[in-house]
Structures are given as structure tokens and as C-alpha cells.
Amino acid sequence: MPVPPGAPAPPSAGDVLAAADRARGGGDTSRYPGTLTARERLAVLLDADSLVEDGLLAGALPADGVITGVGTVEGRPVAVIAHDFGVKAGSWGELTCEKQIRILERADRDLLPVFYLVDSAGGRLTEQMGFFPGRRGASAIFRLQVALSGRVPQICCLHGPSAAGGAYMPAFTDWVGMVEGRASMFLASPRVAEKVTGERTTEEEMGGARMHAEVSGCGHAVFEEDWQAVAAARLLFTYLPSDWSARPAVGTAREPEEQGWEGVIPEDPVTGYDVTAVIDRLVDGGSFFEIQPDWAPEIVVGLARLEGRVVGLVANQPCVRSGAIHVDSADKAAHFVSWCDAFNVPLVFLQDVPGFMVGVEVERQGIIRHGAKLIAAMSSAEVPKFSVVLRKAYAAGFYAMCAPGFEPRATIALPSAFIGAMGPEASVNAVYARKIAAIDDETERAEFVAARVEEHRAEVNLLRMAEDLVVDTVVATEELRAELAVRLRHADGWTRTAPRRHHLVSPV
């Protein structure tokens, strides 16, 4: 049919193909030297030539600033969202939101894990009515992320800014790896904050990678380069199933990195040591993937393999704050336990805990409330749980680290273990406070306390704990790995209980 005079000619096939090539070329990257483009990041993440992209020609801008589609990671299908900072600073317009909503809807329908490569300045204010208030705006993205939570892994690499409402995209994922010096996350930029509060600060101080990894806990790891964050995300995925109904794949067993145990755990219960030295002797060599190593370091959490089987480790860290559980460490452990339970990862608790931190400051911070979160998460977890008492296990710290009342498959103790409502010295001082105060002679007082401490140790001892079924077995330190491995194998047939309620009411 001839084109009417004056009417624009429809694009030819060549025009359409050229437009597609321009869209694949992405935006202007000349202002951002040293960073990978959005498509280069996807090339690191995905198996070669596996991306099937949607919405390539959306809008007048290249892919409208976001690449969405499905690819594979080691042969497993995944959904991807990758912001292109070279296109309007990766900002979200109406079609940017629509593309992200559509891929998340597919992930929800097809149970696809989602990888987010975030690099966005936030909403495109020139398209406010498109991205902000409506049913298909940014709020729908967050609703879908919440709907996917606990059903499929959601893994985020933060390569640049994640500003304003867009900062919630990383917050709803399971793991956030941030690139130092470029990644940032905040609800309002320093410029906006200064206008509202008068506070003057920098992007790095307000929402940089180190701040979130060490102070806020919103970041899980910090990397120097783009490719390192993506490679870590790809590695993390190997520990997880593709969805909540599956279980992590069993890998090839490897010997631990370290073998000898002599001197690793000091006999003196107040002497600090690095619990990662214990972990290195328990798990398969090179398999420990620590989560949030720089935040609340008095507790160590991470994924590892034990004779090829994936486990989640929750360990007190005696060389930091004596391993006492603080507000942030309770939150850190609670999130990790909940994550492992969601994706069928058995849990191993390594106890060397003096209890929860006490004092005016932590009480005002809500240590009871935060501790309740940890106990609730641990108690609710239905995956096989194993509790190992390395040395001391005192007070409510013993509870929070999966005491027998929370039904671990086994409570295993090393010969150095001591379990009690409090340490012997503290217990004696509490019980005999008046009598101790009444003894004027310093030597006599010390002798009295020492005698009562020995009496306490004789009464509350490991053998009695085993006789009373508090402890299921006592093993030599060098036999602990083998003991855990065989118990994990025996738990392979575990099942969940039938649902009895919607969910618990989480502590505030």
C-alpha cells in the first residue's frame, strides 16, 4: 500500500535492526571510567550467550535504562534486572518500572531466582506520574520482591547509587554486595538532607559501601571492583537451591584447610580466640562463604560445605566483645537463620557465649526485643539443627544458640564445654554476695570464693549434663567434623510439619 503524501514512512527492517543494535550499545559510559557497563556485568554473571532479553526497544532511550530477561547461571535459569547508569543515570521512568514489574511477575510465576545489578539515581522526575503513584509504579516492584522473599533467592550487586525509594530494592533482597567508592544507598541525598535537616555530609559517609557494611548492616560485603561483586554473587548462588521447594545440591567433599587442633580453643574460658580457626577445621577446604563479616563481628554467620553438604554456620566470636550477643548481632543471626530455613539449609550452632550483653545502653537499645527476634527465628526454623558447645554456654545466650529446648537434632559438647545459668564465678558472687561482703580478710575472702567456685564446678559439670540428657554426646575436638558429617547424612530425609497457622507475629 502506498504511503499517503506527507505521512512518515514506517521504519524498514533495517531501521528496526539498527535501533536494536543501538539499544544493545547502552548509554554513554565515557563519564564513568573504570566501571563495567550493565551488559558487561551480565556477561560476568550469566553463562555465555544465555540471556534472553525482554523490552529491548522500550521507549526512546536504550532499553529505557534497564536490561531485563532470563539467562542461566551454571545451567540454572534465573531472572535478571540490570540498571544502565549510562542512560539517564539509570533512573526509573514509566517503562523502566514496567519492565522490572514484568520480569518479577515472571519470576513469581515460574519460581525463578532473581539477580539485581543495581546502579540507579532513582525516579525520573520528568516522568513522575509514570513511576511514582500508580499500580504499575515502583511500589509494585517492592510488593513483588516481598512476594518472592523466601520463595526464590534474591541476590543484589550494588554497583553505584540506589537512591530515594529505589534504595528499598536492595533492602528486600537476601544478600547485597557493594562496590567500594561507587556504591551508595540512601533515602535522601546529602544535598536533600542538608535542605531538610541542615546536616552537611558526604555520599560516602551517609550511604557508602563501608558505612552499610560496618554500621547499618544493609550491605553484606564490600568489593573493590564490579566483577568481584558479580563473581561473589554467582558463587553464593551455588550454595542455594533455585526455590524454596528444593534443597541445595550436594557437592564433592574436600578435606578441611586446617587439620591440627592443638591450642585452637584455649582452656581458660575468658581467653579470646578466633572462631574461624574452628570453622576452617570443620568444613570443606575453601568452602566457607561468610555473610556480613564486617558488621556485628561478635557473631559469625556463613554458608559452607561439610563433606559436600551445604550447612549454615552460626558461631559466637570470642575474640570480639567476648562473643556476647549484642543488638546488631542478634539481628544478624536472626536474618541468617530465617534465610537458611527458607531455603532448606541445615544449621550448625557453634557455642562459646557468655550470654547477651547487659547494661543500661543495650537495654535502651532494646536488647530484649532484638534477642527475641533471634530466639523466634531459631525456634521457628524446621531445618535440621545441631548445637555444638565448644567451651562456655551461659544464660540466655545458651538458649539463643539452640539449647535442647529448641529441639536441635543433637547437642554435642567438646570436653572443654561448660553449661550454666551463668559462669561459676558470677554464680558464686550472686548466691553468696552478703557472705562474701562480710569477710574482711582479703585472703580469706578469696579462699572462700575459690572453694565455692570449685563446688559449683563439681555440681554443674559436663558429665552431669550428659547424664541428664542436656548433652547428647561428648566428642574429642578432632572427631567433631566426622560427628557432624554423619549426623547430617542421617538427617537427609527430614521433612517439614504441616502448616498450623499463617506465621508467627515477629517481635517488634
Instruction: Write the Ramachandran bin of 69: left for phi over 0, alpha for psi from -120 to 50, otherwise beta.
Output: left
Using one digit for the tens of pLDDT, what is the confidence trace for 125-155? 778 767 778 889 889 999 999 999 999 999 9
Are residues 160 and 183 in contact, defined by beta-carbon separation less than 8 angstroms?
yes
**E strand or H helix that includes residue 223:** strand 221-223
How far is residue 321's CA from residue 143's CA, in Å, rounded to a whole number? 38
Residue 457's pLDDT is: 73
3-state SS, 234-285, equals HHHHCCCCCCCCCCCCCCCCCCCCCCCCCCCCCCCCCCCCCCHHHHHHHCCC
Measured between alpha carbons, how far is residue 349 from residues 256, 300, 409 in Å?
Answer: 18, 10, 11
Three-state SS for 141?
helix
Three-state SS for 351?
strand
Using one digit for the tens of pLDDT, what is the confidence trace for 355-369? 999 999 999 999 999
Cα–Cα nearest to 91, from 141, 149, 166, 34: 166
Q: What are phi and psi of 500, to 5 degrees?
A: -120, -10
Neighbours of 142 (CB within 10 A): 17
DSSP assignment letter at 354: -
Residue 3's pLDDT is: 63
Cell numbers describing residue 286:
575453601
Residue 162's pLDDT is: 92
Instruction: Write the Ramachandran bin of 435: left for phi over 0, alpha for psi from -120 to 50, otherwise beta.
Output: alpha
Per-residue pLDDT tens digits of the chain, which is 508 residues long: 566 777 777 888 877 777 777 778 777 766 667 789 999 999 999 999 999 999 887 878 899 999 999 999 999 999 999 999 999 988 898 999 999 999 999 999 999 999 999 999 888 877 876 777 888 988 999 999 999 999 999 999 999 999 877 889 999 999 999 999 999 999 888 888 888 888 898 888 989 999 999 999 999 999 999 999 999 999 999 999 999 999 999 999 999 999 999 999 998 888 999 999 999 999 999 999 999 999 999 999 999 999 999 999 999 999 999 999 999 999 999 999 999 999 999 999 999 999 999 999 999 999 999 999 999 999 999 999 999 999 999 999 999 999 999 999 999 999 989 998 876 777 677 777 788 888 888 888 888 888 887 776 767 788 888 888 899 999 999 999 999 999 999 999 999 988 777 677 777 7
- DSSP characters for 329-341? HHHHHHHHHHHHH
Using one digit for the tens of pLDDT, what is the confidence trace for 2-40? 667 777 778 888 777 777 777 787 777 666 677 899 999
Are residues 289 and 317 in contact, defined by beta-carbon separation less than 8 angstroms?
no
Cα-only R_g, the chain: 27
> pTM here?
0.92
Place of cell 519492565: 99
Cα–Cα nearest to 234, from 382, 120, 73: 73
How far is residue 231's CA from residue 226's CA, in Å, rounded to a whole number? 9
* Strand ranges in 52-174 using DSSP code E only, listed in sequence order: 52-54, 66-73, 76-83, 114-120, 154-163
Measured between alpha carbons, how far is residue 490 from residues 177, 204, 480, 494, 498 in Å?
Answer: 35, 49, 16, 9, 22
